Amino acid sequence: MCCPTEQTMIESKLARMSGIHKLEFNMMSRTLGVWHELPNTLDIEAAVRSLGMHAEPLATESNAADANANQAGSQAQLTHKANWWPLVLSGVAAAGAEVLHFTQSAPEWVVAAIALFAIALCGPTTYKKGWIALKNLNLNINALMSIAVTGAVLIGQWPEAAMVMVLFTIAEMVEAKSLDRARNAIKGLLDLAPERATVRQSDGSWLEVDVKAVRTGALVRVRPGERIGLDGEVASGTSTVNQAPITGESLPIEKTVNDHVYAGSINESGSFEYRVTAEANNTTLARIIHAVEEAQSSRAPTQRFVDKFAKIYTPVVFFFALAVALIPPLFMGGLWADWIYRGLVLLVVACPCALVISTPVSIVSGLAAAARKGILVKGGVYLEIGAKLSFVALDKTGTITHGKPVQTDFLLLAETSDGEPQLLAASLGSRSDHPVSRAIAKHDEMAATTLKQVESFEAIPGRGVKGSIDGQIYYLGNHRLVAELGLTTQSLDASLSQLERQGKTVVMLASATQVFALFAVADTVKDSSQLAIKELHELGIKTMMLTGDNEHTAEAIAERVGIDEPRGNLLPDDKLKAINELQSRKHVVGMVGDGINDAPALAKSQIGFAMAAAGTGTAIETADVALMDDDLRKIPAFVRLSRQTALILKQNIVFALGIKAIFLVFTLMGVATMWMAVFADVGVSLLVVLNGLRLLKK
């Protein structure tokens, strides 16, 4: 299945068979999904063979990794290997016939013999495919070209018939090579992970084995420069790892014990060992490959429109060409040879191959370009919708911020008799499981090694904690606790209010009689968030932040990063209502979250973006677009790629139809020749394919 003409023939043939309910074509990977009630696939394979093609089951293994490998092998075998010498010889013969005809230096029968020799060398494949298409009442490019060349021979246009067949064969061959490049862009994902890994055996030795045989829990060793074969967690050693093939991160990442590593990433410097956490068929890379394959199968809106348009367009133009050939000679006194020739030219121009092939090539190129950037798009429909985004709603925690509270401020109010207030607060905080207390405990690494013994520790719900240190009772708590102790003052409240207006949570270290220090804790903003919001604004896209935090925190974070509309104190249902509100204002909305907690809002938005999907298989499965790391700048990058894809799709459609319209006029005026018509059809097909492939460089 090399181009849309074969797809149409298969679809027409199988759709008439009883027991077949659904067909799903993936032309880029040359695969066909068939939903049927037949006892086996023999009848399906026979039907495909009757069309001059060969079909075989892609994979019967339950192991997805094996299926992917089989598919890669099948595609490798199907890659076009051109046999150039007959084509070169036929080209020389066709050119010789043209020269002899133009100079009239040889008898007509010599010109005819040379032209027929050229057609015989390069035309059999076209004639075979054309005959099969006509038998199945299908007007594809091979059928139209066969009719046109035969008609040209019958009316004595020998040299032109030969040149048309040669040019058509050359263009088909080059177009096939271009399509192979688009296919290889996706197939290249399969080559990222190595086939073998060095695994520790039960006797302590190390043995290189097939990655498909490695099970979870196995210990794998990676040397400098090697690709990592499986997902895992570093057990020993340190290194820098290039994760660009998976997450799109531009710089290598430092990896140490307990850090995650992904199949397909590259170990750059040190040697380390990691514990396997996912088998070959379930690695992040395997899920990416599966998602991209699924994305190819779902047709984008433009592609669906083009396919429907082509089904009407081709027969209409065919019968128009027939009318051009017959009506003027029959009713207007035109010359038969002249008007038949014009009808034949129209037949060549008629095929919508350029129009049909332009959309899948552009979409697949866009999907591949996005995958290389660490952006996993789950279908062409989202690639197209991305170009229309006008509002992006973002969760705060873990999306705009890191999702891990840290101590940001320390204000000393009075000295304590038992040591530094930071040390005392850290000692109390280390006994608590509250995120704010834990952030204070982790703030001072030196204090963590010299924590004081806390006696009579007690958690005070909704207020804080208390405990005895060196015989003195200390409290670490919020404003409510300090107020209940009767320790609030006007200056203390002013300091507290100032920090809270910055979106920070404030706790105080106090005794029963005095407040010693204020500690402010906040979820810090990622460095990339402000740049990402700025880039979205430059693209004309407005932003909204949806968070369960209080309004002060929401407004402070929004002001810092440049969010247009902050919304605080929101439950999941409230976030859903916010998306509905934006859509009621006629916005095309994207929602950015973790793929789980924000599920209602993600599902309701036109595009749901999941952050840091490399760490969560759920996000890859559920999101419309999965960002493989936690860098928000990938969203404007996705929008730019979507807009570029949409532009190329429009360019290709306008170009394909525009050239055909021009040649339609030229043909009716008697200006266009058949070899010019070949360029108008197959030449345009090649140009739109090359235009679509430009996305691979984005």
- Each residue of 275-334: pLDDT tens digit? 999 888 888 777 777 666 665 555 556 666 666 676 677 778 778 888 888 898 888 888
C-alpha span between 631 and 529 (Å, rounded): 8
Range of weakest confidence among 167-181, 234-248, 524-538, 660-674: 167-181
- Into how many domains does the chain fold? 4
If asked whether residues 338 and 463 sit together in one domain, one would say: no
If asked whether residues 409 and 470 sit together in one domain, one would say: yes
- pLDDT of 366: 85
Residue 184 has pLDDT above 80, yes or no: no
C-alpha span between 345 and 492 (Å, rounded): 89
Among 480, 495, 524, the domain boundary falls at 524
Q: Do 588 and 388 touch, CB atoms closer than 8 A?
A: yes
- pLDDT of 274: 94
If asked whether residues 126 and 56 sit together in one domain, one would say: no
Crossing angle of helices 336-350/634-669, nearest 10°? 170
User: In this structure, is residue 250 part of a structural domain?
Assistant: yes
- pLDDT of 248: 57
- pLDDT of 232: 92
- CA dihedral (197, 198, 203, 205) in degrees, to 10, reads 160
If asked whether residues 255 and 202 sit together in one domain, one would say: yes
If asked whether residues 360 and 419 sit together in one domain, one would say: no
SS3 at position 503: coil
Residue 243's φ and ψ, nearest 5 degrees, are -95, 10
Which amino acid is present at 420?
E
580 vs 311, which has greater pLDDT?
580
CATH number of the domain within which 24 lies: 3.30.70
User: In this structure, is residue 660 part of a structural domain?
Assistant: yes
CB within 8 Å of 104: residues ≥ 6 apart: none
Q: In the structure encoding, which two tokens stand for residue 280, read together?
A: 């070959």
User: In this structure, is residue 215 part of a structural domain?
Assistant: yes
421 vs 380, which has greater pLDDT?
421
Question: What distance separates the 2 farthest-apart alpha carbons in the chain?
Answer: 121
Tokens 């705060």, residue located: 396
pTM for this predicted structure: 0.65
Residue 434 has pLDDT above 90, yes or no: no
Residues marked active site are found at 395
Structure confidence at residue 544 as a pLDDT band (50, 70, 90): very high
User: In this structure, is residue 568 part of a structural domain?
Assistant: no
Neighbours of 7 (CB within 10 A): 21
Among 257, 281, 305, the domain boundary falls at 281
First-residue to last-residue Cα distance in the chain: 28
If asked whether residues 409 and 518 sit together in one domain, one would say: yes
C-alpha span between 577 and 554 (Å, rounded): 17
Q: What's the whole-number average pLDDT of the chain?
A: 80
C-alpha span between 444 and 163 (Å, rounded): 81
SS3 at position 256: coil
- pLDDT of 74: 43
Q: In the structure encoding, which two tokens stand for residue 556, read together?
A: 């402070």
User: In this structure, is residue 155 part of a structural domain?
Assistant: yes
SS3 at position 618: helix
Tally of residues, the chain: 698
- pLDDT of 219: 95
Residue 585 has pLDDT above 80, yes or no: yes
Q: From start to end of 496-610, where are the E strands?
A: 505-510, 515-525, 542-546, 565-567, 589-593, 607-610
C-alpha span between 320 and 325 (Å, rounded): 9
Range of weakest confidence among 150-159, 484-493, 525-534, 601-610: 150-159
564 vs 686, which has greater pLDDT?
564
If asked whether residues 243 and 182 sit together in one domain, one would say: no
- pLDDT of 698: 65
Q: In the structure encoding, which two tokens stand for residue 197, read together?
A: 């890994």
Among 228, 254, 281, the domain boundary falls at 281
Residue 281's φ and ψ, nearest 5 degrees, are -85, 0
User: How far are the Cα atoms of 29, 314, 431, 511, 554 from residue 482, in angstroms, in the given order?
Assistant: 67, 81, 20, 9, 25
If asked whether residues 158 and 271 sit together in one domain, one would say: no
- pLDDT of 20: 84
SS3 at position 121: helix
Task: Compute the average pLDDT of residues 6-28.
Answer: 76
Q: What is the CA radius of gyration of the chain?
A: 34
User: In this structure, is residue 357 part of a structural domain?
Assistant: yes
C-alpha span between 378 and 381 (Å, rounded): 8
- pLDDT of 250: 55
Q: Do 539 and 472 touch, CB atoms closer than 8 A?
A: no
C-alpha span between 607 and 613 (Å, rounded): 15
User: How far are the Cα atoms of 86, 151, 244, 628 from residue 268, in angstroms, in the given order?
Assistant: 48, 64, 12, 20
Considering only CA atoms, which of 582, 581, 577 is closest in space to residue 601?
Answer: 577
- pLDDT of 75: 43
User: In this structure, is residue 261 part of a structural domain?
Assistant: yes
SS3 at position 541: coil
Residue 180 has pLDDT above 70, yes or no: no
Q: Given the DSSP bridges, would you call strands 455-460 and 391-395 parallel, antiparallel or unpaired?
A: unpaired
If asked whether residues 406 and 514 sit together in one domain, one would say: yes
Q: Do 668 and 342 touch, CB atoms closer than 8 A?
A: yes
Question: Residue 232: exposed, middle, or buried by beta-carbon count in 10 A (0-12, 13-18, 19+)?
Answer: buried
- pLDDT of 79: 43
39 DSSP β-pair partners: none
Task: Compute the average pLDDT of residues 209-235.
Answer: 92
User: In this structure, is residue 575 part of a structural domain?
Assistant: no
- pLDDT of 222: 93
Residue 61 has pLDDT above 80, yes or no: no
SS3 at position 55: coil
- pLDDT of 404: 76
Note down the domain range covering 476.
402-524
If asked whether residues 360 and 253 sit together in one domain, one would say: no
- pLDDT of 3: 60
Task: Compute the average pLDDT of residues 464-486.
Answer: 90
If asked whether residues 422 and 518 sit together in one domain, one would say: yes
Q: In the structure encoding, which two tokens stand for residue 657, read together?
A: 């139809």
Structure confidence at residue 396 as a pLDDT band (50, 70, 90): confident
CA angle 415, 416, 420 (to 5 degrees): 85
- Residue range 238-266, pLDDT digits in tens: 888 888 667 655 567 888 898 889 888 88
C-alpha span between 584 and 579 (Å, rounded): 9
Task: Compute the average pLDDT of residues 592-610.
Answer: 78
CATH number of the domain within which 213 lies: 2.70.150.10
Considering only CA atoms, which of 575, 503, 510, 512 is closest in space to residue 544?
Answer: 575
392 DSSP β-pair partners: 543, 590
Residue 77 has pLDDT above 60, yes or no: no
Which amino acid is present at 674?
M
CATH number of the domain within which 483 lies: 3.40.1110.10
If asked whether residues 411 and 494 sit together in one domain, one would say: yes
